[in-house]
Amino acid sequence: MSEHISKQFDAELESIRGNVLGMAGLVEEQFRDAMKALAEGDANLIEKVVTTEVQVDALHLRIDDECTLMIARRQPAASDLRMVLTVIKVINDLERIGDKAAKIARRARQINEAGRVHVPRFRDLEHLAELATDMLHVALDGFARLDPSVAAQVARDDLRLDEEFKGLQRQLITFMMEDPRTISLSLEIIEVAKAIERVGDHAKNVAEYVVYLVKGVDVRHADVETIVRKAAN
C-alpha cells in the first residue's frame, strides 16, 4: 500500500509540474504575440493576447489550488515540499509575465488606434524582447530538467537586459527633448520597454527558484558571483 501511495504521490507531483510547463508555454507564446502585435498593429492578435490573460489567470488559480490541496492531503517534506513551494512561486511569476504581455498588447492597441504607424526605436525594443524571451526559455528549461546551473546564465543576462533598458530609456528621453511632439508616444514606448525588462526579472526569479528546488539554497537578492557558486556546489 505504501508503495502504491508513493507512486500516486509522484504521479501527482509530475502532473502539477506538467501543468506548470503548459502554463509556461502559453505565457511564452503570449509574450511573443504581444511583440508581434506591437510591430504589426494587428487588431486580432492584440485581442488574442489580451484574452489569453484570462486563460493564464485560470491556470494560475488551478495550479495554486492543486498545490494547496497537495500540502493539505500529502503533507510533503524535504525535496517534495520544495517542489510544491517552487511551483507556487513559479506560477506567480508566470502570471505576472502574462500581465506584462497583456500590457504591451494594450499599448499596441493605443498606438494603432491613434494611427501611429511608426514605433520609435522598435528594433531596440525587439532586441530587448528577444533577450527577455531567451532568459525565460532558459529558466523554464532549467525547471523542466531540474538544472540549477541555468541561474548563472540568466542572472548575467538580466544585468545585460537592465543596462540595455537604461540605454533605450536615455535615447527616448533625448528624442522627447529634441521634439516635444513625440513625448506621448515615447512615454508609451518606455512603458513597453519597462514591461519587457520586468519579464526578464521574472525569468531571473524562476531560475533562482530552480537553485532552491535542487540545492535547497535561497539565492534571491544575491549577486551573480554568489548565484554561480551556490548553483555549482
pTM of the model: 0.92
pLDDT at 38 over 70: yes
Fold of 2-232: Methane Monooxygenase Hydroxylase; Chain G, domain 1 (1.20.58)
Q: What CA–CA distance (Å, rounded) separates 40 from 37?
A: 5
Q: What CA–CA distance (Å, rounded) separates 48 from 139?
A: 25
pLDDT at 8 over 80: yes
pLDDT at 17 over 50: yes
- What pLDDT, on the 0 to 100 scale, is given for residue 174? 92
CA angle 9, 10, 12 (to 5 degrees): 65
Measured between alpha carbons, how far apart are the two ends of the chain, in Å?
37
- Alpha-carbon 227 to chain mean position: 19
- What pLDDT, on the 0 to 100 scale, is given for residue 78? 86
Q: What CA–CA distance (Å, rounded) separates 175 from 179?
A: 6
- What pLDDT, on the 0 to 100 scale, is given for residue 164? 96
Mean of pLDDT values over 33-47: 93
- What pLDDT, on the 0 to 100 scale, is given for residue 3? 45
Select from 7, 4, 1, 19 the least CA-distant residue to 67. 19
Select from 193, 174, 178 the least CA-distant residue to 119. 193
Q: What is the CA radius of gyration of the chain?
A: 20
Return the higher-pLDDT residue of 147 and 4: 147
For residue 175, the number of C-alpha atoms closer than 13 Å in the C-beta half-sphere is 17
Could you report the per-residue pLDDT of 82-120, keeping only the tens digit for each? 999 999 999 999 999 999 999 999 999 988 887 765 666
Q: Give the Cβ contact number of residue 79 at 10 Å.
A: 11
